């Protein structure tokens, strides 16, 4: 059994995107075992257990990940993750990966895959609502599948907008209002909001949206009216209806699960997709164990771990 | 984050039994979060993910455990387990325990707790159907709660019976027939059988049975007629009806979940129990995440781990 402290170091987004895309395709083909996330709740947060097996990639295991909103005051990340890899032939745990950064990267990869298939343009203006770690990995991953002519970024705090733009000074970038940020080709929403931030009238025809922030019941970033006029793709039906962007509108009767256009796996396999350049498309991302195993697969091929005695 | 390779070393069965018993009591009081085991299956076996949180013991985490029946030919254990401990305040994974031996010990502890509460005698003849690791831990744990005047052991292979008795030569012991083994005060069945081994007519009034072997659909060790005339206690309703001793009789219509007398937690709390010295009582053990966390709690207080960098 090996422990990998920084399995993300040296990983290329091209390789991550390619492997995560293959995992989504295997999901669509019915070749992935992936029981639903299991939640255990604490006063201060929760942890989620995410087991899966992708025979086509020869990888199985479990990601264990917490969400503790008060951690920053303790100097700890809000989200920390550990992935345990299980050998399919023997059941032996063979690897342990510090998966905190891997989690950000695999979420970025899903956004890039959705953008590659659902955005009708290859040269884009990228709008970012939120300027944290998730905004960074969306930008970095989408840059592998599109030419980004301009980035527009909005954050509640002006200094966060400026800091973000200075980190990505190779791009033409503007710190804009929320409304102006939404005037773009690809919009990524990455905030922990529990009330809609993006108004329906700000979103033009043809926009593709990666709705990343909502990953728990009660969270939402988009005006439900946008969902009503868009083609909405999700990663997994059970997770999305429980905790994705669609969860609040569904619970309020403003959106029906029957209106969901399909899964990202179906998009990757060519079974579902955008119908016209004028449609709005939305990818509602909640984060799947198959993404965690796909990126772990690449990380294990790439890195050396610390040998731990087992069994 | 610390890794514990041999967290079982130096543990006393008295401490294990006491902590596992407290965890069962907390379960009965409704103070334990324990979602059902989640299974992922392979061609060669499976792995199970078992998360839980016991606030009263201040411990949370996940056990990950496989069952690969062909492993012995590879020189590996059939069952290997790893427990990840999560800090409730921060969600950080703080400890990783090699839990293969801990799993055996916590199962032994549950058998001892059931015996302490359900066997009407304090000096007993102990019958063991099966002579492997589970038989050893049943014996060792039960010896902490009863005086064992004699052990009777049966195994398919005579040399295994003799080897078992030579390992426990401090006891008066006999390698007997299956029928003679069942003529005892406390009977522990610990085989992977998928057909009844213990006939109804061999079990006398007043016997207490720990039915340990059945832990997956299709497994059973007892003639269903024994269940029909016994008071049957289980560890957890969902797990027992899915994979415990009662699972096959229920699926065949020979036993009804409504006939289950109660849980071990209810027994420990004094809410349920044996009604007379002449009754047969059965504890149907499937193994719970709360047992794994309880023994991890003791092991962490007891041992030094290898420091691993995280996050």
Give this complex's ipTM.
0.94
**In this complex, is the C-beta atom of A69 within 8 Å of any C-beta atom belonging to chain B?**
no
pLDDT over 80 (residue A68): yes
Q: Which two tokens stand for residue B238?
A: 């969902």
For residue A192, count CB atoms less than 10 angstroms from its CB and return exposed for 0-12, middle for 13-18, buried for 19 or more.
middle
B73 interaction partners in chain A (CB closer than 8 Å) = none
H or E element: which one contains A231?
A: strand A230-234
Q: What is the DSSP string of B96-147?
A: EEE-HHHHHHHHHHHHHHHHHHH-S-SEEEEEEE--SHHHHHHHHHHTTTSE
pLDDT tens for residues A30-45?
999 999 899 999 999 9
Q: What is the DSSP string of chain B?
A: -EEES-TTTT--HHHHHHHHHHHHHHHHTT--B-PPPEEEE-SS-EEEEEEEEEGGGTEEEEEEEEE-GGGGGGTS-S--EEEEEE-TTT--EEEEEE-HHHHHHHHHHHHHHHHHHH-S-SEEEEEEE--SHHHHHHHHHHTTTSEEEEEEEE-SSHHHHHHHHHHTTTS-EEE--HHHHTSSSEEEE----SS--B-GGGPPTT-EEEE-S--STT---B-HHHHHHEEEEES-HHHHHHHSTTHHHHHTTSS-GGG--EEHHHHHTTSS----TTSEEEEE----HHHHHHHHHHHHHH---EE----
**In this complex, is the C-beta atom of B71 within 8 Å of any C-beta atom belonging to chain A?**
yes
CA distance B139 to A91: 28
Residue (of A112, A111, A53, A113) closest to A84 by Cα position:
A53
Smallest CA–CA separation between B31 and chain A, in Å? 12
**In this complex, is the C-beta atom of A306 within 8 Å of any C-beta atom belonging to chain B?**
yes
CB A47 within 8 A of CB A64: yes
Smallest CA–CA separation between B5 and chain A, in Å? 7
**In this complex, is the C-beta atom of B62 within 8 Å of any C-beta atom belonging to chain A?**
yes
Residue (of B67, B86, B50) closest to B291 by Cα position:
B50
Q: Which residues sit opposite B72 in a β-bridge?
A: none
pLDDT tens for residues B73-104?
999 999 999 999 999 999 999 999 999 999 99
Smallest CA–CA separation between A219 and chain B, in Å? 20
Of B37, B63, B272, B297, the catalytic one is B63
A89 interaction partners in chain B (CB closer than 8 Å) = 42, 44, 68
CB A289 within 8 A of CB A34: yes
Beta-carbon separation of A40 and B39 below 8 A: no
Q: What is the pLDDT of residue B54?
A: 98
Q: What is the pLDDT of residue B56?
A: 98
**Residue of B40, B63, B81, B84 for testing the chain A interface, max A β-carbons within 10 Å:** B40
CB A263 within 8 A of CB A233: yes
**In this complex, is the C-beta atom of B92 within 8 Å of any C-beta atom belonging to chain A?**
yes
A78-94 exposure pattern, b = at least 16 Cβ within 10 A, e = fewer: bbbbbbbbbbbbbbbbb
**In this complex, is the C-beta atom of B168 within 8 Å of any C-beta atom belonging to chain A?**
no
CB B127 within 8 A of CB B152: yes
pLDDT tens for residues B243-258?
999 999 999 999 999 9
Half-sphere exposure (Cβ direction) of B164: Cα atoms closer than 13 Å: 30
| Mean pLDDT for the stretch of residues B42-67 | 97
Q: What is the pLDDT of residue A216?
A: 84
Q: Helix (H, G, I), strand (E, B), or coil: what is residue A219?
A: coil
Average pLDDT for chain B: 96
CA distance B260 to B230: 10
CA distance B84 to B173: 39
Q: Which two tokens stand for residue A86?
A: 């299980």
What is the sign of the dihedral through the CA atoms of B300, B90, A9 and A284?
positive
Percent of chain A with pLDDT over 70: 100
Q: Which residues sit opposite A82 in a β-bridge?
A: A64, A98
Percent of chain B with pLDDT over 90: 96
pLDDT tens for residues A75-126?
999 999 999 999 999 999 999 999 999 999 999 999 999 999 999 999 999 9
Beta-carbon separation of B92 and A80 below 8 A: yes
Q: Which two tokens stand for residue A58?
A: 């020869």
CA distance B43 to B50: 21
Residue (of A293, A261, A298) closest to A55 by Cα position:
A293
Q: Which two tokens stand for residue B14?
A: 């008295």
pLDDT tens for residues A161-204?
999 999 999 999 999 999 999 999 999 999 989 999 999 999 99
Distances, alpha carbon B244 to alpha carbons A94, A103, B28, B98, B237, in Å? 29, 37, 19, 25, 9
The CATH label, of 3.40.1280.10, 3.40.50.1000, 3.30.1780.10, 2.40.170.20, for the domain at B2-103+290-307 is 3.30.1780.10
CA distance A53 to B51: 18
Average pLDDT for chain A: 96
Beta-carbon separation of A60 and B66 below 8 A: no
pLDDT tens for residues B20-48?
999 999 999 999 999 989 999 999 999 99
pLDDT tens for residues B257-306?
999 999 999 999 999 999 999 999 999 999 999 999 999 999 999 878 99
pLDDT tens for residues A222-251?
999 999 999 999 999 999 999 999 999 999
Q: Which of A84, A88, A311 sits opposite B100 (nearest CB)?
A: A311
pLDDT over 90 (residue B215): no
Beta-carbon separation of B84 and A80 below 8 A: no
CA distance B222 to A254: 54
Q: Which of A60, A71, A82 sits opposite B40 (nearest CB)?
A: A60
Phi-psi sector, A59: left (phi>0), alpha (psi -120 to 50), beta: beta
Q: Which two tokens stand for residue B17?
A: 């039994």
Which residues of A are marked as active site? 63
Q: Which two tokens stand for residue B153?
A: 């052991």
Q: What is the pLDDT of residue A303?
A: 77
Beta-carbon separation of A91 and B66 below 8 A: yes
B64 interaction partners in chain A (CB closer than 8 Å) = 62, 84, 86, 93
CA distance B50 to B79: 14
Distances, alpha carbon B151 to alpha carbons A20, B136, B187, B241, B280, in Å? 57, 11, 10, 30, 19
- Cβ partners under 8 Å of residue A13, min gap 6: A105, A108, A109, A112, A140, A141, A143, A144
Q: What is the pLDDT of residue A302?
A: 83
> Is beta strand A280-284 parallel, antiparallel or unpaired with respect to B262-263?
unpaired
Q: Which of B68, B91, B96 sits opposite A67 (nearest CB)?
A: B91
CB A233 within 8 A of CB A267: yes
| Topology adopted by domain A109-287 | Rossmann fold (3.40.50)
A305 interaction partners in chain B (CB closer than 8 Å) = none
Beta-carbon separation of B93 and A64 below 8 A: yes
CA distance B145 to B210: 14
**In this complex, is the C-beta atom of A74 within 8 Å of any C-beta atom belonging to chain B?**
yes
CB A167 within 8 A of CB A147: no
Smallest CA–CA separation between B223 and chain A, in Å? 32
> For chain B, which residues make up each domain, given as ranges?
2-103+290-307, 110-286
Nearest chain A residue to B52 by CA: give it: A40
Nearest-5° angle of CA A220, CA A211, CA A118?
A: 150
Measured between its terminal Cα atoms, the distance across chain A in Å is 8
CB B119 within 8 A of CB B186: yes
Q: Give pTM, 2 decimals.
A: 0.94
Half-sphere exposure (Cβ direction) of B199: Cα atoms closer than 13 Å: 6
Q: What is the pLDDT of residue B304?
A: 83
Q: What is the pLDDT of residue A226?
A: 97
B54 interaction partners in chain A (CB closer than 8 Å) = none
| Topology adopted by domain B110-286 | Rossmann fold (3.40.50)
Q: What is the pLDDT of residue B303?
A: 77
């Amino acid at each position: 059994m090996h422990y990998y402290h920084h399995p993300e170091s040296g990983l290329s987004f091209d390789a991550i995107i390619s492997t995560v895309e293959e995992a989504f395709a295997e999901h669509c083909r019915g070749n992935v075992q992936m029981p639903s996330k299991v939640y255990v709740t604490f006063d201060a947060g929760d942890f989620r257990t995410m087991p899966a097996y992708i025979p086509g990639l020869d990888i199985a295991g479990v990601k264990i990940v917490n969400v503790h909103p008060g951690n920053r005051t303790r100097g700890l990340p809000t989200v920390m993750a550990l992935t345990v890899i299980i050998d399919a032939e023997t059941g032996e745990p063979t690897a342990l990966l510090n998966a905190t950064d891997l989690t950000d990267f695999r979420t970025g990869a899903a956004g890039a895959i959705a953008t590659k298939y659902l955005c009708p343009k290859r040269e884009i203006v990228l709008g970012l609502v939120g300027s944290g770690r998730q905004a960074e990995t969306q930008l970095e991953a989408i840059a592998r599948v599109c030419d980004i002519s301009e980035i527009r970024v909005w954050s509640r705090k002006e200094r966060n907008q400026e800091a973000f733009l200075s980190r990505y000074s190779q791009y033409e970038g503007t710190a804009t209002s929320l409304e102006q940020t939404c005037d773009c080709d690809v919009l990524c929403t990455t905030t922990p909001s529990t009330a809609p931030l993006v108004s329906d009238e700000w979103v033009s025809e043809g926009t593709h949206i990666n709705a990343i922030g909502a990953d728990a019941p009660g969270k939402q970033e988009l005006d439900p009216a946008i969902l009503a006029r868009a083609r909405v793709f999700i990663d997994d039906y059970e997770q999305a209806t429980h905790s994705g962007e669609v969860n609040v509108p569904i619970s309020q009767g403003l959106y029906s699960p029957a209106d969901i256009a399909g899964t990202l796996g179906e998009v990757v396999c060519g079974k579902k997709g955008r119908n016209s350049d004028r449609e709005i498309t939305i990818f509602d991302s909640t984060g799947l164990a198959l993404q965690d195993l796909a990126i772990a697969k690449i990380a294990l091929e790439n890195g050396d771990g610390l040998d731990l005695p087992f069994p």
